[in-house]
Amino acid sequence: MKKFISFLCFLVILTAGSAALATTTDQLWLFNTDEVMPVPDVVHNANGQPLLRVDPGPGGWQGGAWSLSGEIDVIIPNDPTLRERKEITIELLWAPGRLDAFIPDWPLVGVSAVPMDKMTMSVVNDPLAGTIWTQSIYSIVIWPNPPREWIAIKGDILVDQLYIETKCVPEPATMGLLGLGGLALLRGRRKH
């Protein structure tokens, strides 16, 4: 029973340590104005102010949404500490724009960073029943953790809101040291 309790304590310490070492940012743009460089409506980023620029092309702002046939560019500053990877979640509320027959009427999302050795991306599209809107959630992982990333969103689309969360994830060696430290603390407590 003591071993089981010690193992549970070890898991709690490891999880708490992981949360303490991971750095998270989040930012939300609702696009309630026609500002082409709007500040986020909500931002939690201790590493600086994220920058967003809208290049709408011939579309323009239409009462709470950007009609793109251009591009939205976002620069997200993050903790520059060397870490194993960065996890990025992008939630985009969009609808087909139908302005330009040459440009696809769905979002094209890309991420660029230096350094970036590898990237994976998956997307889930959820059409909102009874509306023209779709919520797309992009799950992106890049290796290693860069100090900032550039996110580009293109397409012949209407963009109603954009939420971006980044998480700098510690390297496994750091997690192992945390676990060993937790075990040493537990072992030290049992001797007294």
Q: Which residues of the chain have pLDDT under 50?
A: 2-20, 173-186
Would you call 171 helix, strand, or coil by DSSP?
coil
Tell me: do 135 and 180 sit in the same domain: no
Q: What is the pLDDT of residue 16?
A: 40
Helix and strand totals (H; E) in the chain:
2, 12
Tell me: do 27 and 121 sit in the same domain: yes
Domain with 2, as residue range(s), is: 1-22+170-192
- For residue 59, the domain's CATH number is 2.60.40
The Cα 144–Cα 131 span in angstroms is: 39
- Rounded to the nearest 10 degrees, the angle between the axes of helix 172-191 and helix 2-21 is 140
Tell me: do 118 and 40 sit in the same domain: yes
Tell me: do 103 and 188 sit in the same domain: no
Tell me: do 157 and 182 sit in the same domain: no
Q: What is the pLDDT of residue 171?
A: 59
Tell me: do 174 and 162 sit in the same domain: no
24: β partners: 167
Tell me: do 118 and 44 sit in the same domain: yes
Tell me: do 109 and 174 sit in the same domain: no
Tell me: do 58 and 105 sit in the same domain: yes
Q: What is the pLDDT of residue 56?
A: 87
Length of the chain: 192
Tell me: do 147 and 182 sit in the same domain: no
Model confidence, pTM: 0.78
Q: What is the pLDDT of residue 6?
A: 44
Total domains, the chain: 2
Q: Is 23 within 8 Å of 168 (Cβ atoms)? A: yes
Q: Tokens standing for 152?
A: 């580009």
Tell me: do 102 and 189 sit in the same domain: no
Of 97, 60, 83, give the one whose Cα is nearest residue 167. Answer: 83
The Cα 121–Cα 109 span in angstroms is: 10
What amino acid occupies position 184? A
Q: What is the pLDDT of residue 100?
A: 83
The Cα 131–Cα 128 span in angstroms is: 6
Tell me: do 89 and 3 sit in the same domain: no
